[in-house]
Amino acid sequence: MTVLLLPGDGIGPEVVAAGASVLEALVARHGLQITLEQGLIGGAALDRSQRPLPAETLAQAKRAQAILLGAVGGPAWDRVDASLRPEKGLLELRAGLGLFANLRPATLHPELGGVSPLKPEVVEGLDILIVRELCGDVYYGEPRGIRVLDGGERQGYNTMVYREGEIRRIARVAFDVARRRRRRVCSIDKANVLEATRLWREVVQAVGQDFPDVELTHMYVDNAAMQLVRQPTAFDVMLTPNMFGDILSDLAAAVTGSIGMLPSASLNQGACGLYEPIHGSAPDIAGRDLANPLATILSVAMMLRHSLGAQALAERVEQAVTRVLQGGLRTRDIHAPGTTEVGTRAMAEAVLREL
């Protein structure tokens, strides 16, 4: 099997190097049979080939069984045309591979309870899985653009669009994973205002009838944001449209204490998946050995579980991360009194030692 590494921009190369070192260790010592390739995406690709997603990178991705992505974008490319922004490369990759299901776990490691901005009793036992639809909504809807109105004033516009089939397939993913968890799905929408999410609620309700063993509830997105802060442990699986999921998953990350701890998986109808930390490129700390590589390493664990058929190795990686945290090592974003601050490379090396 082939795993494609897409380091991207900012801290992307640093954290992908950490993830790659874990994969290499599993190949060398634990029987994982994969070949690693590397490609360009985002600003790094734009600088080299004038495209944020070169045709060769997309071809590599289509041949691969799994992809490990760092991050894309940064101020260096803020002035380029909108059609060429680094983030456009990621959107094109998701569309090109049909990656419609984004799984974003928000789990609070017991060792990091003091890092959360919320009271320990509010976040104790936090374990949420956000299932975000990834190929629809305003990110892909047409028409879109900026136009000049009579009188010279400019107007920006985007279109929120969902087809029944798109909603149905992501809803089935949410119900399927809920069956392996605590059997509760909370579907997020704004059905009192937006017709697209009124359809969302109707279709999710219909799909839920095929899963009578899973409890389905609905919640408006603004209330969901409030409840994520007030009582986050009340959620099990949160099913969201694209834009709402983008926002709520970052809020859930803040509840856990650090966005540097949260992995993600983006899956299509087959076995191919794109795995990445949910954080951005963080150009302010790029190249300074400050980034937390654990979200990327935990993304590798998700890759092993969902695309490479290596459940036991996924658990081994997750256990290694837990033991490192139990040992008191912390990167700057999760550092607390009584723990030892280390850099990106040292944290990755500690995980390798545990492996």
Is residue 140 within 8 Å of 161, Cβ to Cβ?
Answer: yes
How many residues in total does the chain contain?
355
- The SS3 assignment for 283 reads coil
- Catalytic machinery residues: 139, 190, 222, 246, 250
Is residue 22 within 8 Å of 351, Cβ to Cβ?
Answer: yes
E strands along 271-324, which residues?
A: 273-277
d(CA 127, CA 109): 9
Sign of CA dihedral 321, 330, 113, 265: negative
Measure Cα distances from 115 to 26, 197, 288, 320, 336 in Å.
Answer: 30, 35, 22, 20, 7
Residue 302: closest CA among 33, 67, 144? 67
